[in-house]
Chain A
């Protein structure tokens, strides 16, 4: 039997805090790394990665709309999309 064509593709949305938005979690991570002896760490920022399985024909614009409407809060966050 022929293999069924994959019905979905991957879309990865990376959400990061905008510059200038204080990131207390990042600060705590930076301090903990210093505590472990990693003195070379000058900063840490925490973001999130959302991996989506989307229907094959899904456009980048559609994923961008998803990011704007829900995945990122554009008041405080930036996002970038990868669709290999």
Chain B
């Protein structure tokens, strides 16, 4: 699987994500700086990492979504390449219009940083095929703006089309319908607030995140 990880000023999970990809697939991703206007050829997988790109100025993910490299990512997503946005990466994907809705300040106003239980809603996607539908997994979150908001029609459409990948199985941030991660209509873009790249080896306290990368590798390698 030929992968790339996008790096913005203020990204801070880029190396964790690269490490996870390397350990699971055996091949290190290319690290792509935000000023690049083109991506490497024949990429299978693009990771948008967590962090605080551009200091969360204006809105979380807003500046990153308009950076030169994101034009290339939008184009690649349109060509069907797999795009995974984690935490700030999810915020960037909504701001870039690759996923519907928006991520707002957590309902409780607190930065939430802990392990949370998630329910796998869709086990058919290229990212989730190694999970069972309805399975409960534990993945850490670390965010201030994870409160997913969309209008009722959009939420109904996401539910109806099976595009909710993960739901929180406990109260976390006030997200509409407990949404923790959603898929694009074509299914090749996943945005999620929890951090699967932080749980890929037993030394990290669990391996529930590993199967996400294994699934992508199986689908794309």
Contacts and interface: CB of A to CB of B under 8 A. Distances in A.
B66 A73 contact: no
Interface string B100-123: 111011111100000000000000
A71 B23 CA distance: 39
Contacts, number: 36
B58 interface: yes
A7 to B, nearest CB: 26
Contact of A22 (B62, B100, B104): B104
Contacts of B108: 24
B150 interface: yes
Contacts of B101: 75
Contact of B102 (A28, A70, A73): A73
Contacts of B59: 73
Interface residues of A, number: 11
Contacts of B105: 24-25
B95 interface: yes
A interface secondary structure, majority = helix
Nearest to B154: A75
Given A21-B149, A22-B174, A73 B107 contact: no
Contacts of A83: none
Contacts of A65: none
Interface residues of B, number: 19
Contacts of B66: 69-70
B107 A24 contact: yes
A73 B62 contact: yes
A49 interface: no
A25 B102 contact: no
Given A70-B58, A70-B66, A71-B58, A24 B106 contact: yes
Interface in A60-84: 69-71, 73, 75-76
Contacts of B149: 21-22, 75-76
Interface of A: 21-22, 24-25, 28, 69-71, 73, 75-76
Question: Which A-B residue pairs are the 5 nearest by beta carbons?
Answer: A75-B102, A76-B102, A24-B109, A24-B105, A24-B107
Interface of B: 58-59, 62, 66, 94-95, 100-102, 104-109, 147, 149-150, 174
